[in-house]
Structure 1
Amino acid sequence: MSNVGHFMYFAFGSNLLKERLQLKNPSAVFHCLGRLKDYCLTFGFTEEQFDNRWHGGVATIEESEGTDVWGVIWKMSKDNLDSLDNYGLLWLMRSCAPLWRQEAVDVGMYSPLEVMVETDRGAILCRTYRMNKFRASPPSPQYKEVVCLGAQQNGLPPDYIKRLEAMQTNNYAGPSILDEIKKAMK
């Protein structure tokens, strides 16, 4: 999964979008596209209700024979592993700057796993995340937009992008993390 100081991360949800991932994980560098065989992409929450900054279901993967999940393999510094794994808003003591953590491993929302991802360079062992105690819930339009933007930005297969664009949402119309991402994209 890693070489000295780095690891490979397979992203399939909001972290497909470079600007989203690099908000808190600046070391992430595009490596290649990949396909995770025998898994499907789905959206929801954990059984416990966590603060949901996306105002809807978020992406996870589930084993599903015969289906695939497309995504991006990012090469990342091991220094960013903590900010990728953990959850919440922390205040850095020196700078008083907020630090959002993403995958909520520390509070049990996601579990990291190692998966073999098929690429045009051969199979690559990657770190990815699967939601614990999953219950289905549609994503917000803003979350869907970020996932679709990331898929388009990185050139995922057109048929897969069409599947993402066809996802039903919960029609949430208020503010979300997308506002912060759009600022970073300018």
Structure 2
Amino acid sequence: MSGAAAGCFMYFAFGSNLLRERLQLANPSATFRSTGRLKDYTLNFGLWEEHVDNAWHGGVATIEFSPGAEVWGVIWTLSDENLPSLDNQEGVSHGMYAPLEVSVETDEGLMLCRTYRMNNFHACPPSPQYKQVVCLGAEQNGLPKEYLKGLQATQTNNYTGPSILDQIRTVMK
């Protein structure tokens, strides 16, 4: 099983952090390592409390144990110094997400990665902006076309106001 270099950790992203510009807003050390798939999990969108506002104005990605399913994503290498900012982005201290160690299949073999799973999951469709960021990240990193088609088919909540996508767009220009 491959590991990260000293002073670094590997992070498996499957939601908005698939997009490099999104992840690097708060975690500038993030560098692409590989794409990979997490077996026996499925991707879902929701909220950690039934009625909670968030910066994305809708459901966000999480993984749920599901034998036979798979979730594709990106493995990023991050400096240990970015662990607190990544945990903060994922709302660990607020109980939104819990860190999880997973073995991700890659062309280089299995890689042990940190990822996050939502606590107290309540299904909720994502905003169109969140879905767009996830799909842009999947395209940017060459995730399988069939997987991307599944992401593109995700129903949204039709939210039309401002979101984090506005900040990401300024970075992408």
Residues 36-70 of structure 1, C-alpha deviations (whole Å, 9 max, x = no match): 00000000001265440000000000000111000
Aligned mates of 1:81, 1:182 — CA distance in 2: 25
> 159, 166, 169: which is aligned to 2:146?
159
The SS at the match of 2:66 is strand
Q: Which residue of 2 aligns with 1:13?
A: 15
Aligned mates of 2:165, 2:19 — CA distance in 1: 11
Consecutive unaligned residues of structure 1, counting only runs of 5 or more, are 87-101
**Alignment pair present for 1:25 and 2:12:** no
Q: Which residue of 1 aligns with 2:67?
A: 65
Aligned mates of 1:106, 1:141 — CA distance in 2: 27
Q: Which residue of 2 aligns with 1:53?
A: 55
Q: Which residue of 2 aligns with 1:122?
A: 109
| TM-score where L is the length of structure 1 | 0.90
> 76, 79, 82: which is aligned to 2:78?
76
**Alignment pair present for 1:131 and 2:133:** no
Q: Which residue of 2 aligns with 1:107?
A: 94
Aligned mates of 2:53, 2:110 — CA distance in 1: 36
**Letter paired with 2:113:** C
Residues 43-99 of structure 1, C-alpha deviations (whole Å, 9 max, x = no match): 00012654400000000000001110000000000000000001xxxxxxxxxxxxx
**Letter paired with 2:68:** G
**Letter paired with 2:12:** F
Aligned mates of 1:49, 1:80 — CA distance in 2: 30
Superposed counterparts of 1:33-52, under 5 Å? 33-47=35-49, 49-52=51-54
Aligned mates of 2:34, 2:137 — CA distance in 1: 13
Q: 1:4 to 1:50 in 2, by over 3 A?
A: farther
**Letter paired with 1:33:** T
**Letter paired with 1:149:** L
Consecutive unaligned residues of structure 2, counting only runs of 5 or more, are none
Root mean square deviation, CA, Å: 1.0
**Alignment pair present for 1:170 and 2:172:** no
Whether the aligned pair in 1 keeps the contact of 2:50 and 2:122 (CA below 8 Å) is no
Aligned mates of 2:150, 2:59 — CA distance in 1: 17
Residues 165-184 of structure 1, C-alpha deviations (whole Å, 9 max, x = no match): 00000000011000000000
Aligned mates of 2:6, 2:50 — CA distance in 1: 36
Q: Which residue of 2 aligns with 1:90?
A: none
